[in-house]
């Protein structure tokens, strides 16, 4: 299975930078091809050694050896995929299109290898006789299932077809992702007449001025498709024609015809996923994906989504009526359109609660919200953070912190990449350059967060919306899931949990942002240095469920369309018409669109991470609302005893046990959706 290994730049696989990081000054984009080729050869050599082991399969010579195989491939992959999302360019994108299917083919060759599976299967069949501890037993089961779900039991024609499908899906996912990025980065609406900025607060104008400068238009203001610019523009811009123009561009990402159009990619993806599921013995791709989750079945997902949808649609109808009245009061006769909703809801919030986003934003400095994230982690879990400067990373904006355990020992590293740029994919995410485990040796986690906040003008602080601050807390909750991981096996480290459990640590962490003790300390006006007035804080908390119908309709419609695409018999040849038909059957309000329309639904179509799984945010929200309620019931949202249980059973346990078992160990019982519905104000 092996061949001659090419000469490589070892900086990609042997990390000699400060603090155990890669030395980002020691390699360039052209080094990846040879490094991947060599790493793939090494990985296959590791597999050959396992298969060729002269002794009968044991946990050590088979399962452990498999878990520790491919270290060079893990390292070069972690750097490359980080760059492909956070700091890409033409060379990286071209290589991504070639390496994605190659990696898929490589994975298939391993997961469908009959000799390797025979060794794993032998261990699995005798697992009750091996005296395994609970974590090892769970890892063995997880690995065995992953082989089966990857086609290890198929006949040879079936294996060949599944490998072809996986390779094609990898190519389609990479192209989908790049198309969305190109549509987002290429589009800008340049405004040169200051009259067209009417209604826009200074923070929006400054962000637009900065975006125009990055595009060599220093004499203009630019509306871009970054959420940190487009959403406040839609919320404040009085020029309705410009709002419509910007909104239509935002909604049409991935659906503009030409080379970046994703419609055909979606059609092919849905068809291939359906074929894959049926090859593996499942009724639908949704059934295949959900078999390995807390929900287990499409019916369980729909049992959650459908009642929430009805409540959300009803509330959104009431909200739309209120906005229509506001439009009529202004002497206008148009109906609420999607490009009107944020504008008039912002006016209504200002009217009802006597504050708006522009009044709030000066108190939400990025720097202070980062400090707040760290403070909450210290109060709950005792960990501390120390920033290290002058360390080269993938971009000058990236910051590095050492993280320490309560006893002062090293916990890991945390990196933050906070500002939008044209080389970065939209959205916000957490990932790892290196995950924690203790198998064979102790490996400390190196975790990073990526955001897309508008970069401020020189000398000015970055100011966040309340949603932006929540996003920061959310992604840092994911980061803590990686940093606090305390498991032996890599397969269950950190966020290696079922998709509908992985959002619990992140969504739960959001709750602490609006704890009064945190806002009082960190919501500091960037000019005066004064804390947010209690009256404003009270209004912010009182308005927490404002516009909840709109927000829930946006989200739930996306989850329902995702499920519809991946259910049995979903047509794939005309995906846009299919999306429209599903929304019509649901009774989707005309004035609201999906949070992620199909042609740019990256959660679902740039890889299959959240395919038939976008519901999981809502599933996890049932858990997070109940979990925070547990803290509230103690009378102390930083309860030391409860925080210790939270760390042990949620943030540190990874996938070492069944998620339902872990949640019950923390809370004592499984929740009902009631706390989530109450939290959303539905």
190-246 confidence digits (pLDDT tens): 999 999 999 999 989 999 999 999 999 999 999 999 988 999 999 999 999 999 999
463 and 493 share a domain?
yes
Does residue 26 lie within any of the structural domains? yes
Q: What is the mean pLDDT of the chain?
A: 95
Does residue 641 lie within any of the structural domains? no
Mean pLDDT of 644-655: 98
The residue out of 181, 206, 226 marking a domain boundary is 181
Mean pLDDT of 66-83: 98
Mean pLDDT of 537-546: 87
Does residue 247 lie within any of the structural domains? yes
Domain span at residue 473 reads 362-498+512-533
143 and 202 share a domain?
no
- Do residues 81 and 103 touch, judged by C-beta distance below 8 A? no
19 and 60 share a domain?
yes
Q: Is a pLDDT exceeding 80 seen at residue 568?
A: no
Residue 3's pLDDT band (cuts 50, 70, 90):
low
Does residue 273 lie within any of the structural domains? no
Instruction: Give the pLDDT score at 573.
Output: 83
Q: How many domains does the chain have?
A: 3
How far, in Å, are 389, 438, 611 from residue 441 at the CA level? 28, 5, 35
Instruction: Give the pLDDT score at 607.
Output: 87
Q: Is a pLDDT exceeding 60 seen at residue 471?
A: yes
Does residue 123 lie within any of the structural domains? yes
382 and 518 share a domain?
yes
Q: Of 584, 575, 597, 603, nearest to 274 (Cα)?
A: 575
Catalytic residues, by residue number, are 475
For 312-328, write each residue's pLDDT tens digit. Answer: 999 999 999 999 999 99
Does residue 595 lie within any of the structural domains? no
54 and 129 share a domain?
yes
For 108-159, write each residue's pLDDT tens digit. Answer: 999 999 999 999 999 999 999 999 999 999 999 999 999 999 999 999 999 9
Highest average pLDDT, of 6-15, 55-64, 570-579, comes from 55-64
All residues at 6 or more sequence positions from 208 whose CB lies less than 8 Å from its CB, including other chains: 191, 197, 200, 221, 222, 223, 224, 229, 233
The residue out of 165, 181, 197 marking a domain boundary is 181
The CA distance from 31 to 26, in Å, is 10
59 and 151 share a domain?
yes
All residues at 6 or more sequence positions from 343 whose CB lies less than 8 Å from its CB, including other chains: 234, 235, 236, 237, 238, 240, 243
56 and 146 share a domain?
yes
Instruction: Give the pLDDT score at 2.
Output: 47
**What's the whole-model pTM score?**
0.94
85 and 132 share a domain?
yes
The CA distance from 603 to 502, in Å, is 14
23 and 144 share a domain?
yes
105 and 215 share a domain?
no
Residue 413's pLDDT band (cuts 50, 70, 90):
very high
Q: Is a pLDDT exceeding 60 seen at residue 346?
A: yes
The answer for 412, left when phi > 0, alpha when psi is -120 to 50, beta otherwise, is left
- CATH number of the domain bearing residue 143: 1.10.1370.40
Mean pLDDT of 36-45: 97
Q: What is the end-to-end Cα distance of the chain in Å, rounded?
A: 58
- Do residues 363 and 521 touch, judged by C-beta distance below 8 A? no
* b/e map 317-336, b = 16+ CB within 10 Å: eebbeebbebbeeeeeeeeb
The residue out of 120, 151, 181 marking a domain boundary is 181
Q: Which residues are registered as beta bridge partners of 429?
A: 450
Instruction: Give the pLDDT score at 556.
Output: 97
pLDDT-wise least confident of 11-15, 308-312, 606-610:
606-610
Residue 252's pLDDT band (cuts 50, 70, 90):
very high
All residues at 6 or more sequence positions from 89 whose CB lies less than 8 Å from its CB, including other chains: 29, 423
Three-point CA angle 432, 438, 441, nearest 5°: 100
60 and 147 share a domain?
yes
- Do residues 394 and 86 touch, judged by C-beta distance below 8 A? yes
Does residue 552 lie within any of the structural domains? no
Mean pLDDT of 405-416: 98
Instruction: Give the pLDDT score at 569.
Output: 65
Instruction: Give the pLDDT score at 450.
Output: 98
42 and 151 share a domain?
yes
Percent of all residues in the chain with a pLDDT value above 90, rounded to a whole number: 90
The CA distance from 125 to 144, in Å, is 10
For 501-538, write each residue's pLDDT tens digit. Answer: 999 999 999 999 999 999 999 999 999 999 999 889 88
Instruction: Give the pLDDT score at 1.
Output: 46
| DSSP structure string for 150-217 | TTTTS-HHHHHHHHHHHHHHHHHHHHHHHHHHHHHHH--EEE--GGGGTT--HHHHHHHHHHHHHTT-
Does residue 656 lie within any of the structural domains? no
- Do residues 226 and 214 touch, judged by C-beta distance below 8 A? no
The CA distance from 53 to 369, in Å, is 53
């Amino acid at each position: 299975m092996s061949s001659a290994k090419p000469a490589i730049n070892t900086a990609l696989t042997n990390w000699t930078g400060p603090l155990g990081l890669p030395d980002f000054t020691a390699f360039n984009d052209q080094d990846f091809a040879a490094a991947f080729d060599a790493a793939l050869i090494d990985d296959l050599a590791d597999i050959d050694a396992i298969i060729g082991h002269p002794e009968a399969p044991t946990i050590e010579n088979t399962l452990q050896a498999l878990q520790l195989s491919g270290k060079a491939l893990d390292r070069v992959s972690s750097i490359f995929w980080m760059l492909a999302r956070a700091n890409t360019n033409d060379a990286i994108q071209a290589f991504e299109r070639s390496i994605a299917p190659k990696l898929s083919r490589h994975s298939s060759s391993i997961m469908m290898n009959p000799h390797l599976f025979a060794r794993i299967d032998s261990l699995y069949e005798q697992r009750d006789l091996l005296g395994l501890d609970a974590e090892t037993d769970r890892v063995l089961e997880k690995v065995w299932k992953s082989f089966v779900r990857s086609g290890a039991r198929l006949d040879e024609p079936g294996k060949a077809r599944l490998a072809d499908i996986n390779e094609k899906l990898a190519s389609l996912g990479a192209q989908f992702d790049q198309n969305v990025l190109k549509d987002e980065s290429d589009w800008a609406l340049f405004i040169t007449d200051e009259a067209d900025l009417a209604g826009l607060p200074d923070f929006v104008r400054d962000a637009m001025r900065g975006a125009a400068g990055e595009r060599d238009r220093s004499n203009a203001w630019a509306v871009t498709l970054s959420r940190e610019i487009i959403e406040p523009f839609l919320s404040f811009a009085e020029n309705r024609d410009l709002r419509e123009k910007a909104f239509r561009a935002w909604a049409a990402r991935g659906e503009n015809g030409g080379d970046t159009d994703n419609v055909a990619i979606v059609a092919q993806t849905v068809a291939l996923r359906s074929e894959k599921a049926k090859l593996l013995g499942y009724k639908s791709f949704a059934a295949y994906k959900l078999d390995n989750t807390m929900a287990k079945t499409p019916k369980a997902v729909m049992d959650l989504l459908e009642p929430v949808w009805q409540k959300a649609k009803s509330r959104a109808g009431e909200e739309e009526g209120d906005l229509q009245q506001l439009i009529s009061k202004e002497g206008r006769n148009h109906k609420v359109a999607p490009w009107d909703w944020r504008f008039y809801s912002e006016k209504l919030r200002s009217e009802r609660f006597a504050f708006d986003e522009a009044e709030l934003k000066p108190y939400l400095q990025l720097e202070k919200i980062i400090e707040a994230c760290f403070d909450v982690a210290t109060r709950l879990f005792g960990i501390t953070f120390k920033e290290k400067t002058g360390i080269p990373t993938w971009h000058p904006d990236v910051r590095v912190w050492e993280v320490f355990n309560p006893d002062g020992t090293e916990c890991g590293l945390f990196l933050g990449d906070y500002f939008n740029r044209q080389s970065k994919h939209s959205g916000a995410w957490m990932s790892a350059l290196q995950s924690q485990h203790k198998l064979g040796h102790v490996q400390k986690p190196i975790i990073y967060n990526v955001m897309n906040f508008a970069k401020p003008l020189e000398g000015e602080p970055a100011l966040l919306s309340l949603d932006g601050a929540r996003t920061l807390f959310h992604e840092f909750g994911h980061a803590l899931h990686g940093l606090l991981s305390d498991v032996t096996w890599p397969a269950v480290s950190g966020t290696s949990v079922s998709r509908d459990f992985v959002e619990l640590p992140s969504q739960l962490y959001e709750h602490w942002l609006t704890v009064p003790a945190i806002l009082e300390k960190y919501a500091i006006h960037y000019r005066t240095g004064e804390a947010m007035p209690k009256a404003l804080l009270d209004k912010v908390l009182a308005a927490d469920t404002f516009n909840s119908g709109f927000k829930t309709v946006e989200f739930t419609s996306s989850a329902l369309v995702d499920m519809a695409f991946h259910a049995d018999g979903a047509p794939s040849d005309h995906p846009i018409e299919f999306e429209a038909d599903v929304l019509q059957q649901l009774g989707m309000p005309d004035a609201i669109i999906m949070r992620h329309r199909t042609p740019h639904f990256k959660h679902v179509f740039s890889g299959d991470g959240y395919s038939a799984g976008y519901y999981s945010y809502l599933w996890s929200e049932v858990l997070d609302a109940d979990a925070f309620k547990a803290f509230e019931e103690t009378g102390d949202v930083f309860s030391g005893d409860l925080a210790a249980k939270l760390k042990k059973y949620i943030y540190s346990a990874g996938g070492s046990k069944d998620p339902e078992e872990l949640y019950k160990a923390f809370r004592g019982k499984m929740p009902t959706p009631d706390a989530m519905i109450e939290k959303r104000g539905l």
